[in-house]
Amino acid sequence: MFFKFLTVAALASFEVYAAIPTGLAFELSFLAIFLSTTTGGLACVILAAFLGDRIRRVINKYRKPRKVVDEKPKDGLVYRIWKKYGTVGLGLLGTITVGAPISIAVGVGFKAPLRLLIIWCCVGVVTRCAIFTTVGYYGFKLI
């Protein structure tokens, strides 16, 4: 049972869409699938935030400062979403749609406050795991 839980948690740290069917294949209960996917997702958030911040520090250490001559207008899609929803939108909506590592990478790139980003990514992970585990578990029961 422990190794099944650990396998689902490890898969959830990469992709929750693979972890939930694996938990169903292992015949884990709803609560076990939810807890293992949430545990794996939260571990991924902490690891991605820690590594992302470290990588940013190393890059900035060896990067030469740029002269601000003519900045490009910031009107891309991701930038508009960032300006509209901020850290909360990136952490919550980004984690639900594309996953926590990508949300944290974008947040670190936009120099978002890391603690606030981690909090909202954790909320997004719990929300995503609750929604997808419920849909997957009870959808599988219908079959």
As a whole number, the mean pLDDT across the chain is 86
Mark 46-78 as b/e (b = at least 16 C-beta within 10 Å).
eebbeebeeeeeeeeeeeeeeeeeeeeeeeeee
| pLDDT recorded at residue 120 | 93
112 confidence band (pLDDT: 50, 70, 90):
confident
User: What is the residue range of 100's domain?
Assistant: 2-142
pLDDT tens digits, 18-75:
999 999 999 999 999 999 999 999 999 999 888 887 887 888 788 777 666 555 556 7
| pLDDT recorded at residue 32 | 94
Pair 121, 103: CB distance under 8 Å: yes
Q: How many domains does the chain have?
A: 1
| pLDDT recorded at residue 24 | 92
| pLDDT recorded at residue 69 | 52
| pLDDT recorded at residue 61 | 83
pLDDT tens digits, 88-100:
988 888 888 888 8
